[in-house]
Amino acid sequence: MKIFTTAEMAAAEQAAVAAGVSIAQLMENAGKAVADAVLARRDVAGQRVTVLVGPGNNGGDGLVAARYLAQAGADVVCYLSRARQAESDANYAQILEMGVLALTAELDQRFRVLHHRLNITDILIDALLGTGVTRPIGGDLARLLRQAQSGMAERQQNLAVENASRLVAVTEIPPAPPRPFVVAVDCPSGLNCDSGALDPLALTADLTVTFAGPKRGHFLFPGAAACGELVTADIGIAPDLPAVQGIQLALMTAAQARAWLPPRPIDGHKGVFGKAFIFAGQAQYWGAPVLAALGALRSGVGLAALGVPQAIRATVAAQLPEATYLPLPDEAEGTLGAAAAHYLSTEEMLGGRTALLLGPGLGAAGDFVTELLARAPLPPLVVDADGLNALARLPQWWQRLPAESVLTPHPGELARLLGISLAELKAQDRLAATQAAATQWGQVVVHKGAYTVVAAPDGQTALLPYAHSALSVGGSGDVLAGIIVSLLAQNLPPFRAACLGGYLHGAAALLAAQAQGPAGLLAREIAHHIPRALSSLAA
């Protein structure tokens, strides 16, 4: 699924029109998609629906949605920011013919009618501005949105009061009070769909229905937080149009994840499913290798071989007897050093289907990292956490890695690899910075965070669809690194392993949150839900 800039979306629409799809048909498809999404989530019969209708095509989409919702039995009112003419606007004419009430802002003194309507609204549809916003909202539209914000806040407060019980069981947790359902057409009005900037007057949506594919701003904060559930709708813009095919940024979807799953032959044995070598851990961070190996084993690798310092080997083995353990010597500080790297057999690591993870909880093991990387050739490689910090201290470090190794930095680690401050990195376009780093280094870069970015050296870039607090727990990144090295060992190419690994990690976290709640999850619980995520995709 492609992710569009506003310019790319305009070009795709023009290409669709040139291919024979009319603007009227695109609008009809878009408006019906909005109505269908609402109907899939709400029984609208008898519900009071207010549609805020802007002057452009976004407003036209809203009028079409209003028609379908009225046909489904909703009590619909369209509130127009600017007058429309039925003689030249077929969608406006159709709602009038149906008897749908249409009000115009310029005739509503001090927004009294809007205020009254919002006080009884169950579903609000924001079809004011769409994707073209590039500057602050002002004038009459700002006054309208300000009224909409205050009206919806008042409606929510009134619903809470109306549904409050006089009898409260002190040991029970009452259900949350109902609140109006806000739907954004294409994007919340006031969202810059290229940068993610959000106007203070924007209405926060519970559901955003966007067309042909999501826009960059849907995944960039602060605007991403205002979109609620994001749904994409096919409105007739063919995916094989050159204007669509040429877009390199894509969203990782369940369909793509399913297509990339490594095979699981019923006559396979542990060697068929690969061997992951994991070099990790030190006295303070003995949990990191456990979590990384859990991620690897739970995502299907046949064998996990842990290279951990001798000082913690017995402790780690007690936690994870399913792994094997390499008898590596320690440095004096209980970390892996140059001697451990010399002890390793390159032949063993290269035999059969193998992959190597370097870094989780490794501590100050720079000599081990340097010596290990000098032992070319190496199997497919994932570098995470302290492995990345060790790389950042080496000149021209990217030249020491196998081509298209997978690097999994969070923003602080990426800044260190780039040799810039975190503030400098945050000032850059997140997508562009990740793409540039992958190209410069010749490596696959997994820039972790809300909506993780995965970029390959050839320009392929994928965005993972997950931004969830369940992932924000210590050890979560170790699990992710373990999943990716497992998929590499199962013979997936690096970019696919990184994308699929990130997708499984996010899906497992959502499953864990659904089972146990979003707060208080442990990283190991995310790992334990990976098989369920795999099973859902394989079904």
d(CA 291, CA 508): 14
d(CA 144, CA 134): 18
Which residue in the block uniquely carries the two structure tokens 């199997």?
A: 379
Q: What is the CATH number of the domain that holds 54?
A: 3.40.50.10260
Q: Which distant-in-sequence residues (6+ apart) come within 8 Å of 182 by Cβ?
A: 123, 124, 126, 152, 203, 204, 205, 206, 207, 228
> Which domain covers residue 108, as residue numbers?
6-247
Long-range contacts of 244-247 (CB under 8 A, 24+ apart): 244/2, 244/12, 244/15, 244/212, 244/213, 247/2, 247/3, 247/4, 247/8
The structural domain count of the chain equals 2
364: exposed, middle or buried (Cβ count in 10 Å: 0-12, 13-18, 19+) = middle
Is 239 in the same domain as 325? no
Is 226 in the same domain as 268? no
Among the three residues 247, 275, 305, which one is the final residue of a domain in this structure?
Answer: 247
d(CA 152, CA 202): 12
Residue 280 lies in a domain: yes
Is 229 in the same domain as 268? no
Confidence label for 188 from pLDDT (cuts 50, 70 and 90): very high
Among the three residues 214, 247, 280, which one is the final residue of a domain in this structure?
Answer: 247
Is 439 in the same domain as 391? yes
- Number of neighbouring beta carbons within 10 Å of residue 401: 20
Is 206 in the same domain as 319? no
Confidence label for 462 from pLDDT (cuts 50, 70 and 90): very high
Is 295 in the same domain as 158? no
Is 280 in the same domain as 234? no
Is 397 in the same domain as 453? yes
Is 198 in the same domain as 289? no
Assess whether pLDDT exceeds 80 at residue 353. Answer: yes
Residue 252 lies in a domain: no
Is 10 in the same domain as 38? yes
Q: What is the CATH number of the domain that holds 523?
A: 3.40.1190.20
> How high does pLDDT run on average in the chain?
95
pLDDT tens-digit series, residues 207-263: 999 999 999 999 999 999 999 999 999 999 999 999 999 999 999 999 999 999 999
Is 230 in the same domain as 283? no
> What mean pLDDT comes out for the span 402-419?
97
Specify the pTM.
Answer: 0.94
- Decide: 482 and 499 in contact? Cβ < 8 Å: no
Percent with pLDDT over 90 in the chain: 88
Is 93 in the same domain as 182? yes
pLDDT tens-digit series, residues 20-59: 999 999 999 999 999 999 999 999 999 999 999 999 999 9
* Integer CA distances (angstroms), 190 to 134, 146, 193, in order: 8, 12, 9
Assess whether pLDDT exceeds 80 at residue 155. Answer: yes
